[in-house]
Structure 1
């Protein structure tokens, strides 16, 4: 089992939680981004830099992910692809994507995209906060315990 991180937009506080978890349970954690991501020295933490371009990191993760791997992403289409490969996806706010909820999330994402493209000002997601961090840490711990 490995942890894959869609690292370009992943909050730094979530990366720190992942670094600690990788060390604690001795599981490989790979951050994938199209920019150089700073990581601490560890045999368990790695990074992979992809070329600049739309969805390059997502495509790399989908190509590499295996059944039962864990992917950290807020990207709903990536989460859908990960689930299709029998892997697990969780967003930085601690929400676990499942076969049961991913279609609804994709439909809502597409609807919001249509609203934005028609000129509607619908705002964006709420600011990342302490409750989001705690929800992620709790969900990650539960997943890691279940998967080990």
Structure 2
């Protein structure tokens, strides 16, 4: 069975709670990777991995350990691109799947926005997670777990 990897440094608590429930319900090994200590619920399917502080250290650890058909939860587009290249699946906390068809466009938009911010343009940040974002995430995760369980 596929495993779930969570880029946990910036993952919202409400999304982690959805992941915990899905991991227990589907008996899927789930690892939250962060550069600080994390508290996870008592479960034989959920564990936390603390890595050293530093730029992309958690991302690099996920890429090193991820296997084809694993699921990675991240808002980090470069990380999503790397795990897709390894045959894994990637979902952002709003429930949008990163795919081979959309990742290049998302990387280009990310780079464009970085350039805009560097030139002094105020681009603002993402809006807070809405109820529909949480529902979309839960549905996308459940759908992918169900699909993977049937094929593996």
**Aligned residue for 1:9?**
10
**Aligned residue for 1:64?**
65
**Aligned residue for 1:100?**
101
Across the aligned residues of Structure 1 and Structure 2, the Cα RMSD in angstroms comes to 0.5
Once residues 55 and 5 of structure 1 are traced to their aligned partners in structure 2, the CA distance between those partners, rounded to angstroms, is 14
1:33 partnered with 2:30: no
Q: Deviations over 1:74-131 (max 9, x none)?
A: 0000000000000000000000000000000000000000000000011111111111
Once residues 131 and 49 of structure 1 are traced to their aligned partners in structure 2, the CA distance between those partners, rounded to angstroms, is 31
What is the TM-score of this pair, normalised by structure 2?
0.96
Unaligned runs of 5+ in 1: none
Question: In the comparison of the two structures, how many residue pairs are matched?
Answer: 148
What is the TM-score of this pair, normalised by structure 1?
0.99
Matching of residues 38-117 of structure 1 within 5 Å: 38-117=39-118
Superposition misfits of 4+ residues, deviation over 3 angstroms: none
Unaligned runs of 5+ in 2: none
Structure 2 counterpart SS, 1:30: strand
**Aligned residue for 1:23?**
24
